[in-house]
Amino acid sequence: MALPELPIGETVESSVYWLNDNFGFLMDIFSEFIDILISGFKDILLFLPPIVFILIISIFVYFVSRKNLKLAVGTAIGFLLIDNMDLWKLSMETLALVLSSALVALLVGIPTGILTAKNETAFHIVKPILDFMQTMPSFVYLIPAVIFFGLGNVPGLVATIVFAMPPAIRLTNLGIRQVPVELNEVANAFGTTSMQKLVKVELPVALPTIMAGVNQCIMLSLSMVVIAAMIGARGLGYQVLVGIQRVDIGQGFEAGLAIVIIAIVLDRLTQGLTPKK
């Protein structure tokens, strides 16, 4: 005798529509906030002429990377190539989406990681949710995002936030848990409060691991921003999508090359900001 089919899909669909009907006003407020955040980053990135921006970012990379001249020159060459391919504005739009999504994901992910490291109940609740978020195909996130926020940059960024958040939570949790017991005992012996111990002992010791989570969060944000072009997110991802639709190898390759350049620069920057163990 066959078991009755469970209406899992129908239940999830009904739940999504119920949330949209009853909490749509909260979605609208969040959408406005995200839109302002994206526009703010975009305006800042496009405020300076490309050559000035390239000079500033190259100098910044030079000092952040502990005076690595090769990396600074490579950064300058990479961004000059992006400008030469006439992809500057699209690249800055993509960078604005990545920075916005990574910022929100980290603002939620790092405190959640600290909470799960301090509270075993919270850890056991959050852990299966993270497993679900990391194993669910990234394209699935686009469906509820479209229902809640329509088409455009906002739903793309929301899907990106959900996709990129788990590494920040997991690695923050791991970093806090790996703090040597001896250090915590010394801090307790000096009569520090929980907040003092967190700020002055645990976070500094865990910072290299937390920064690895920041790096992964940024990289996942960049990869998801490209996929989010399918629901109207602009930038280089949309350029790649158009190249696929038109079977335009040149257009797709140029946009993909620009994405690779941005990814390498962001990766090296976060590595440079990571303190050595």
Torsion sign across C-alpha atoms 183, 189, 195, 200: negative
The two three-digit tokens of residue 225, written as one number: 């921003």
Distance in angstroms (rounded) separating the CA atoms of residues 249 and 251:
6
Distance in angstroms (rounded) separating the CA atoms of residues 90 and 102:
18
Domain boundaries of the chain, sorted by first residue: 28-273
At 28 the pLDDT is: 77
At 169 the pLDDT is: 92
Find out whether 165 and 101 touch, Cβ atoms under 8 Å.
Answer: no
Buried b (16+ CB within 10 A) or exposed e, 134-157: eeeeeeebbebbbebbeebbbbbb
Q: Give CA torsion, residues 143, 149, 154, 159, to 10 deg.
A: -30
Where do we find the tokens 């001249």? 69
Find out whether 176 and 115 touch, Cβ atoms under 8 Å.
Answer: no
Q: Smallest Cα–Cα separation from 159: which of 51, 233, 257, 99?
A: 233
What residues have CB less than 8 Å from 56, skipping those under 6 apart? 48
pTM equals: 0.84
Where do we find the tokens 């038109």? 246
Long-range contacts of 62-71, Cβ-Cβ distance < 8 Å, separation of 24 or more: 64/269, 64/272, 64/273, 65/268, 65/269, 65/271, 65/272, 66/272, 68/272, 71/268
Rounded to an integer, what is the distance from CA 219 to the centroid of its chain? Answer: 7
What residues have CB less than 8 Å from 163, skipping those under 6 apart? 133, 138, 141, 220, 221, 224
The two three-digit tokens of residue 205, written as one number: 């010791």
Distance in angstroms (rounded) separating the CA atoms of residues 101 and 226:
13
pLDDT tens, N- to C-terminus, the chain (277 residues): 556 676 777 787 787 777 777 777 777 787 888 888 888 888 888 888 999 999 999 998 888 887 888 888 989 999 999 999 888 998 998 888 888 888 989 999 999 999 999 889 999 999 998 888 888 777 777 777 777 777 777 888 888 888 888 999 999 999 998 888 888 788 888 777 888 888 888 888 888 899 988 989 888 888 887 788 887 778 888 888 888 888 778 888 888 899 889 888 888 888 877 766 5
Rounded to 5°, the CA angle 88-85-271 comes to 60
At 267 the pLDDT is: 87
Distance in angstroms (rounded) separating the CA atoms of residues 127 and 110:
14
- Which CATH class name applies to 28-273? mainly alpha
Q: Smallest Cα–Cα separation from 137: which of 102, 162, 174, 100?
A: 162
Distance in angstroms (rounded) separating the CA atoms of residues 102 and 6:
36
